């Protein structure tokens, strides 16, 4: 490998290690809180630690596959695995896409648990239905394509069915998160809830920015591969979101020992007219 290749790999891992540490910390802290909670707060914290588990696995695998891609010069990251040609980059793209579909589906469930006391509305059912459809569209390509069994076309363009569905249901999720958090913050008299709702609003806005850079990347990469650099600000948008997940949502969440048994009876509420 030449020095340029080595620098590309080192800089990628430096950025991704910061990101992965942030993801891991959020998952561990949420899990620790989850163990001591009950009722809807426990469900909320469950979604907040399960999400980072999926994201950590998906992005670690994606980084490894990218490293193989750069080191070998193979556009698909082909390696010999158990006597078969395995396209690591192909698999990583599909698998990471599936992971983030699961991640935003968990956020949709978080919203239902936090603002609707576990009661699903039609909007939530549509959102989760689109999420499931997106997963069903992408799943056949994850493993078979990587082993050269092309069950579906390897396509990560913006207009491919799984990507289009992902963008639609993902934006539906974050828009509802922003609207619910703003409404709940305006109504609450609890300072802890006010801090959390402010953080959740910032998280939702950060997710919107991540989708903006994600769609720019998918839309412009066919024009010039250099537009893939838009994935860097997308990563920083996610870093901002995870920072506020830790500092603004997980850490302020009191456990019964800290606040008393009455906490579970007080749930954040948003205006009933909100979708």
pTM here?
A: 0.87
Question: How does pLDDT run across 238-268, given as a tens digit for each residue?
Answer: 999 999 999 999 998 887 654 444 444 456 6
- pLDDT for 160 equals 81
Over the chain, what is the mean pLDDT?
Answer: 85
pLDDT of residue 263: 45
- How large is the average pLDDT for residues 228-246? 91
Q: Are 44 and 99 in contact (CB under 8 A)?
A: no
Query: So where are the chain's domains?
Result: 3-72+80-256
Distance of CA 141 to the CA centre of its chain: 20
The architecture of the domain spanning 3-72+80-256 is Up-down Bundle (1.20)
Per-residue pLDDT band at 272 (split at 50, 70, 90): very low
Q: What is the pLDDT of residues 146-203, one digit of tens each?
A: 666 655 555 566 778 888 999 999 999 999 999 999 999 999 999 999 999 999 999 9
3-state secondary structure of 247: helix
Long-range contacts at 21-25 (CB < 8 A, ≥ 24 apart): 22/239, 22/242, 22/243, 22/246, 23/52, 23/55, 23/56, 23/59, 23/242, 24/52, 24/56, 25/246
């Amino acid at each position: 490998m030449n020095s340029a290749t080595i620098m590309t790999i080192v800089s990628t891992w430096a950025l991704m290690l910061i990101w992965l540490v942030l993801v891991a910390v959020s998952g561990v802290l949420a899990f620790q809180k989850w163990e001591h909670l009950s009722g809807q707060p426990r469900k909320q914290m469950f979604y907040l630690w399960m999400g980072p588990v999926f994201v950590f696995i998906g992005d670690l695998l994606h980084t490894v596959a990218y490293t193989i891609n750069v080191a070998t010069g193979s556009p698909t990251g082909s390696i010999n695995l158990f006597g078969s040609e395995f396209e690591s980059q192909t698999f990583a793209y599909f698998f990471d896409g599936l992971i983030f579909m699961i991640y935003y589906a968990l956020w949709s469930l978080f919203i239902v648990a936090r603002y609707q006391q576990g009661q699903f509305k039609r909007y939530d059912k549509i959102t989760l239905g689109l999420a499931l459809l997106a997963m069903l569209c992408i799943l056949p390509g994850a493993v078979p394509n990587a082993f050269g069994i092309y069950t579906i076309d390897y396509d990560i363009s913006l207009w491919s069915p799984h990507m289009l569905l992902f963008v639609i249901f993902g934006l539906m999720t974050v828009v509802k998160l922003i609207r619910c958090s703003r409404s709940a913050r305006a109504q609450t008299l609890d300072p802890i809830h006010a801090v959390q709702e402010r953080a959740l609003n910032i998280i939702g806005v950060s997710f919107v920015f991540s989708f903006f850079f994600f769609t720019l990347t998918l839309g412009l990469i066919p024009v010039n591969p250099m537009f893939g650099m838009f994935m860097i600000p997308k990563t920083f948008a996610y870093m901002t979101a995870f920072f506020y997940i830790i500092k603004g949502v997980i850490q302020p969440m009191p456990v019964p020992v800290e606040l008393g048994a009455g906490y579970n009876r007080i749930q954040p509420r948003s205006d009933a007219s909100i979708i």
